[in-house]
C-alpha cells in the first residue's frame, strides 16, 4: 500500500522516519487528546524521539511484526493507525489508532481500521484482530463496537500510564466473523 484514499481529502499512507519533523508537529497538536490514553504521547517530545519511534516501526515492518500508517487530510498529518503487534505464527495482531481533535468525528478511523482488518485477514491470513483500550476510553470503545468487535474481557492493571497502572479492555474480531459479514 502506498496511498489508500479514505474519503474526500483523506488518505492513509506509510509514516516513516523521513516524516519525523512533520510527525513531531502533529504530535504537538494531538498531545493533549492522546495523553490520557497513550504512553508515547508523553515521551515523543521532539523530532529525534519521533524519528526513533518511527524507526521502531520500520524495523517491525522489516521483520513483519508490526506496521505504522499516517493519516493525512488535505495534506496535513492528523493521525494514524498501527499494527502494534503482528504475529504471523500465531495468526493474531493488534490494531491501534490515534487522531488529533480536528480530524475526529468523521468516521476516518473506522474506515481506516476496516481496511487494516481486511488486509490482515484476507491478504495475510490472520485469524484474529485485537483492539485493546482503557474501559474508560469511550471513543475508542465506540470504534471497536462500530467495527463489530466482541468484548472478551478486561485485563486488570495491565500497563503503566502517567504514573498509574491501567486496565485494558480486550476486543477482537475473528477472521471467520469478518468473512461471514462480507
Ligand X SMILES: CC(C)(COP(=O)(O)OP(=O)(O)OC[C@H]1O[C@@H](n2cnc3c(N)ncnc32)[C@H](O)[C@@H]1OP(=O)(O)O)[C@@H](O)C(=O)NCCC(=O)NCCS
Binding residues for ligand X, per CB under 6 A? 33-34, 37-38, 96-99, 104-110, 133, 137, 139-140, 142-143, 146
Smallest distance from ligand X to CB 16, Å: 21
Smallest distance from ligand X to CB 30, Å: 7
Residue with smaller CB distance to ligand X, 150 or 176: 150
In the beta sheet, which residues pair with residue 50? none
Residue with smaller CB distance to ligand X, 12 or 120: 12
Smallest distance from ligand X to CB 169, Å: 9
Residue with smaller CB distance to ligand X, 15 or 125: 15
CB 141 within 8 A of CB 133: yes
User: Angle 154-172-178 (CA atoms, 0-180°, nearest 5)?
Assistant: 165
Residue with smaller CB distance to ligand X, 24 or 79: 79
Residue with smaller CB distance to ligand X, 60 or 132: 132
Smallest distance from ligand X to CB 68, Å: 14
CB 30 within 8 A of CB 40: no
In the chain, where does DSSP find H-type helix? 20-34, 40-43, 47-62, 108-118, 138-146, 175-180
Cα 78 to Cα 133: distance, rounded to the nearest angstrom: 20
Cα 100 to Cα 78: distance, rounded to the nearest angstrom: 6
Chain residue whose CB lies nearest ligand X: 107
Smallest distance from ligand X to CB 61, Å: 21
Amino acid at each position: 500500500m502506498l496511498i489508500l484514499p479514505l474519503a474526500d481529502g483523506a488518505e492513509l499512507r506509510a509514516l516513516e522516519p523521513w516524516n519525523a519533523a512533520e510527525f513531531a508537529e502533529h504530535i504537538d497538536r494531538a498531545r493533549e487528546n492522546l495523553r490520557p490514553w497513550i504512553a508515547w504521547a508523553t515521551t515523543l517530545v521532539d523530532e529525534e524521539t519521533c524519528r526513533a519511534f518511527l524507526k521502531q516501526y520500520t524495523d517491525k515492518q522489516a521483520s513483519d511484526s508490526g506496521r505504522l500508517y499516517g493519516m493525512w487530510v488535505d495534506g496535513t498529518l492528523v493521525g494514524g493507525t498501527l499494527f502494534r503487534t503482528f504475529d504471523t505464527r500465531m495468526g493474531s495482531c493488534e490494531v491501534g489508532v490515534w487522531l488529533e481533535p480536528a480530524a475526529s468525528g468523521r468516521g476516518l478511523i473506522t474506515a481506516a481500521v476496516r481496511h487494516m482488518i481486511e488486509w490482515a485477514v484476507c491478504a495475510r491470513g490472520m485469524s484474529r484482530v485485537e483492539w485493546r483500550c482503557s474501559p474508560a476510553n469511550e471513543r475508542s470503545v465506540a470504534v471497536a463496537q462500530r467495527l463489530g468487535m466482541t468484548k472478551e474481557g478486561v485485563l486488570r492493571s495491565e500497563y503503566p500510564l502517567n504514573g498509574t497502572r491501567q486496565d485494558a479492555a480486550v476486543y477482537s474480531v475473528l477472521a471467520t466473523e469478518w468473512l461471514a459479514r462480507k
